Amino acid sequence: MFRTIASSVASRATASGSSISLCRPPVLARSLAPRLVASERPRFSSITITFVKAADGSEVTVPAQVGQSILEVSMANKYDIEGACGGECACSTCHVFLTEADLETFPEPDDDEADMLDLAPNVTDQSRLGCQLRLKKENDGMRVTIPEGIVNLMAS
């Protein structure tokens, strides 16, 4: 029945010289909808962090999402932090250095992380495991230094 009514309305509209669309809203409704240019679109929890290699000073800035760990960000961006245990705090291959200001934005390391850091080479007061650091909005623009001499104890 709907097809009969629809074709009747369409044939009358065609006969009178006007066009009608039964499937789409009128063009006017679409033109009144607000449009955002790229710079006005909200950035949903998107931040950037910079990885710095201590060995040569090279830097790479990558996108990250709030809630990701530093290890997850490095893996998502194919940056070379190993993370041999898959982020389970069972190795020290995701050992990183942070600035004092960035360290203050994270909770103190728990006993498991402290134990793994004891096994890492070149540990300093600014050392943390990347798998244990979940990013927050205030970490936007932070610099993460990758120390020299990361040892993969899982491969031994």
Cα separation, 73 vs 69, whole angstroms? 6
**Per-residue pLDDT tens over the stretch 113-140:** 999 999 999 999 999 999 999 999 999 9
Q: Which band of pLDDT confidence, cut at 50, 70 and 90, is reported for residue 155?
A: very low
| Model pLDDT, residue 80 | 82
With a CB cutoff of 8 Å and minimum separation 6, the contacts of 98 are 106, 126, 128, 133, 142, 143, 144, 145
| pLDDT average, residue stretch 102-112 | 97
| Model pLDDT, residue 44 | 54
Mean pLDDT of the chain: 80
5: pLDDT strictly greater than 60:
no
Phi, psi of 20 (to 5 degrees): -140, 145
Which residue did the predictor score with more confidence, 14 or 91? 91
Nearest-5° angle of CA 56, CA 62, CA 67?
120
Which residue did the predictor score with more confidence, 22 or 95? 95
Task: Map residue 127 onto helix, strand or coil.
Answer: strand
| Model pLDDT, residue 17 | 58
63: pLDDT strictly greater than 90:
yes
Q: Is the pTM of this model over 0.75?
A: no
